[in-house]
Amino acid sequence: MPSHILPVTNPNLHSSKQHSYLRIDPTTMPLKQGDPITSTRLESSPFEDETIISVRPLLSRTPSFAGTTTTSSASYQQRRRRVASENSLPSLSDDSFGQRPSPAREVDHAASETFLLTRLSLKLLRYMGVGYRWIMRFLALGCYSLMLFPGFIQVGYHYFFSSRVLRSIVYGDQPRNRLDLYLPKNTDGPKPVVAFVTGGAWIIGYKAWGSLLGQQLSERDIMVACIDYRNFPQGTMSNMVEDASEGISFVCNKIADYGGDPNRIYLMGQSAGGHIAACALVEQAIKEAGEGESTTWSVSQIKAYFGLSGGYNLFKLVDYFHSRGLYRSIFLSIMEGEESLRRFSPEVIVQDPNLKNAVSLLPPIVLFHGTADYSIPADSSKTFAETLQSVGVRAESILYEGKTHTDLFLQDPMRGGNDRMFEDLVSIIHSDDREAQAKDEVAPPRRRLVPEFMLQVAHMVSPF
């Protein structure tokens, strides 16, 4: 981009028509979204106070300008940390804890969340490219969403208006470092906790995607923390893993303040979230096995890892995703280049003989997958489980015949009644709690959210 020339009046000159000129390059200054010269260079963020960026200057700044920038940045970070510390951890003894916010505030929050979700969907289309294939898939997505709309309305109402859902708890300093917490109705003692990382093709992941799972697990006295994270292009894979790890750290260190049991924390991820969570877990184990690595949470605090419809070997998936529309160039941009595929492939990492000590630290791993999943093939979970077993990790894959990528996560839970995957998950979490097992045996069947014929249509037209 050509430099812009701005006139600067010289106070030592008497003529108002005489000026010196200051040459400004847009890449040398921190700029805000909306400036005419930078509107095409900035990616939007769901938080207005997080859109200031600083780009490395081509020319050195004057000392006075550099000092101003440093002071502003420092005060900005202090202001963010102060807000995070004041807002992220409500006291259980506070009379306002658990009370429902005002209707006006709820409506405003719902509107902003709806806007964000719409923008994320449009962003996905923009990065996929708009051709015949994607037009057809977009139409299929519209039909699929319409069929499940009755369920979405009920889940959304619970998400926005239930006093047992604590939304947007701050867990870190980065954009989108927020999590939603789903509290069980019964408060008779510490509850097991599931730290859940949602999916979204690494582009449209969002914490609210875990609302249905959080609601239904909380009805079985299981607390759920749905962790949000930066998506592409706001961040790349290393940023996503960093955010997930920071969210897990918050759960491990702070969940007792909300009534969770720090000795019964389970890590779970779905689809792309399963991949991100697995990378965070393996990376943490490598740090702990190394020397002098400072950590804020420990793999030993995780009782088990649950992967739902995830992919764990990128070398086997990059071409498959390309054939499905997640084009190779975009996918490699998300994963920070072809040279980083190994780093973000847990199945490959655990086979490294130099990492035996780190692999030995991993908790038990259970991988759920549907055999009719054509977004991420079921072999991804099967081969990862076999690889883990070969290196001494307790692992198993549980496959569900005829289930698609979304059946296990959306259609089956909305169907109500008994859901095999859900019951398998709950039984593992409650395996060492006889009282909870007794309650599970007499638990009423979950109510249906969507008529059966609409679920059948959704299954047929699903673009996933």
- Are 408 and 370 contacting, i.e. CB atoms less than 8 angstroms apart? yes
What confidence score (pLDDT) does residue 132 get? Answer: 59
What confidence score (pLDDT) does residue 217 get? Answer: 97
b vs e for 392-425, b when ≥16 Cβ sit within 10 Å of the residue's Cβ?
ebebebbbbeebbbbbbbbbbbbbbeebebbeeb
Full DSSP string of 304-357: EEEEES----HHHHHHHHHHHTS-HHHHHHHTTSGGGTTTT-HHHHTT-GGGHH
What is the 8-class DSSP label of residue 175?
T
In the block, which residue shows the tokens 């847009």?
26
What confidence score (pLDDT) does residue 89 get? Answer: 43
Residue 24, strand partner residues: 4
- Are 222 and 184 contacting, i.e. CB atoms less than 8 angstroms apart? yes
In the block, which residue shows the tokens 């059966």?
452
First to last CA, the chain: 40
What confidence score (pLDDT) does residue 69 get? Answer: 40
What confidence score (pLDDT) does residue 188 get? Answer: 87
What confidence score (pLDDT) does residue 29 get? Answer: 44
- What does the pLDDT profile of the chain (464 residues) look like in tens digits? 444 444 444 444 444 444 444 444 444 444 444 444 333 333 444 433 443 344 444 444 444 433 444 444 445 455 444 444 444 444 444 444 455 567 677 667 766 776 776 666 666 656 555 555 667 777 888 899 999 999 999 999 999 999 999 999 999 999 999 999 999 988 888 999 999 999 999 999 999 999 999 999 999 999 999 999 999 999 999 999 999 999 999 999 999 999 999 999 999 999 999 999 999 999 999 999 986 677 899 999 999 999 999 999 999 999 999 988 888 999 999 999 999 999 999 999 999 999 999 999 999 999 999 999 999 999 999 999 999 999 999 999 999 999 999 999 999 999 998 899 999 999 999 999 999 999 999 998 889 999 999 999 999 888 87
> Would you put residue 416 in left (φ > 0), alpha (ψ -120 to 50) or beta?
left
- Are 31 and 53 contacting, i.e. CB atoms less than 8 angstroms apart? yes
Q: Within a 10 A sphere around the Cβ of 220, how many other Cβ atoms? A: 20
In the block, which residue shows the tokens 């996905």?
124
Query: What is d(CA 431, CA 437) in angstroms, rounded to the nearest whole number?
Result: 7
Catalytic residue numbers read 271, 373, 405
What confidence score (pLDDT) does residue 381 get? Answer: 98
Q: Nearest 5°: phi and psi at 116?
A: -65, -45
